[in-house]
Amino acid sequence: MTDRLPPLPHDIEHATQGEAVPGESPFANSAPLAGDTGDWPTSAGVPGTGYRLIHVDASIIVADKASGLLSMPGRGPEKHDSFSVRLQREFSDALMVHRLDMNTSGLLVVGRGAEMHSRLSRFFRERRVDKEYVALVDGCPEPGSGEICLPLAADRDNRPRHRVDLAHGKPSTTRYWRVDYDSVADISRMALRPLTGRSHQLRVHMQSLGHPILGDALYASPAAQAKAPRLCLHATRLAFIHPEHGGWVEFHCPAPF
């Protein structure tokens, strides 16, 4: 193990640690690089939902989304099934605030009702939400930590890909730390902290370093895709001001790889 993430720029000594609703974790017996099926039970035991509940109160819901499940409906009936649609069957007042790529797993926070949704949305716009991801990447990035500041734009000729665009891209910043390196497999475990929220930001930024995320069908080489059965990107931590009581809260969810 090498670099560790620095502490948050907040007093988190008394932060609330998110705990799963009682029940068996779908990660309990995961083998390294195990792919998600998209058919997890929730912690309450409801089959086939593709998520598990991490925290529920009157204002917010925090859930762990499976890889392979859309965050929100896309265009066309074949893309209607999604985390938000499934969650609203259980919580009719659940309103989406942000999203993860379909093949990215991990933490999502959802507002309950219009007022909580509005407050959380403002926190995301103002970049007052601290997000951290775990990724497995091809090779060994050097230096082992740093900041990537490369503007990103949609690749209009190769949708849904995005690309670095120095002339017209939107400012995009990612901090990264190499947490561990397996020299036999030539794979690094990375901690990634996006300071902006562009589409495919972490995936394009890691590709720009020459170390694409394993299993990435859009940005990795065939060899790097073949090293994992899924996109090895997981939203492992969310920290933000609770929209109701104003305290700083923090939720964690380990990666299944």
What are the residue numbers of the active site? Answer: 101
By CB atoms closer than 10 A (0-12, 13-18, 19+), residue 67 is buried
Task: Provide CB contacts within 8 A for 30, sequence distance 6+.
Answer: 256, 257
DSSP state of 21: P
For residue 249, which of 102, 100, 107 has the smallest C-alpha distance?
107
Distance CA 234, CA 254 (A): 8
Distance CA 190, CA 213 (A): 10
Sequence length of the chain is 257
DSSP state of 90: H
Q: Where are the alpha helices (DSSP H) in 91-169?
A: 114-125
